[in-house]
Amino acid sequence: MRFRPSLLLDVGARSMVPTLVLVSLYVLVVGHDEPGGGFIGGLLAGVALLVVFLAGGAAQVSRVLPIDPLTMVGAGMSVAVATSVAGMVLGAGLLDAGKLELDLAWIGKISVGSTLVFDAGVYLVVVGLVAMVLTRLGAREETAP
């Protein structure tokens, strides 16, 4: 069975996908003080990719993503592991959280925690895994007779 794009899903995806990605980034940034900010944000971005997949198939998912899903998973794992080990290297415990406070004259004081960086790695892993599943499912459908 060959994929046939739906006009209704395509129009719906054009409005839903940017909103879902924006909400997922909000959950990532705001939720980093609570457990699960990166995971839940990644799942929301994965839902956005699912909407893209339903509207345009695996080819559209590949066009929407800036990098290869496997590269995204590898980068996310590298960031998460490096952040979790950084506390131990600096003399604290494994997965110990730290904060960096920056005083930017034109913006003000900004506080960035290592948990935000760890959650960003988790976010990349989840989005990469969802994208990998969707592109593999779609590739199977496109090559079927």
pLDDT at 23 over 80: yes
Quick one: pLDDT at residue 60? 86
- How is residue 95 written in tokens? 């997965």
pLDDT at 91 over 70: no
Q: At a CB cut-off of 8 Å and minimum separation 6, what does 82 contact? A: 121
Residue at token pair 């592109």: 135
> Per-residue confidence at 117, pLDDT binned at 50, 70, 90?
confident
Quick one: pLDDT at residue 75? 95
Q: Is the pLDDT higher at 88 or at 126?
A: 126
Q: Which has the minimum average pLDDT: 60-64, 94-98, 102-106?
A: 94-98
Q: Is the pLDDT higher at 36 or at 63?
A: 63
**Model-level pTM?**
0.81
Q: What are phi and psi of 102, to 5 degrees?
A: -115, 140
Q: Is the pLDDT higher at 137 or at 41?
A: 41
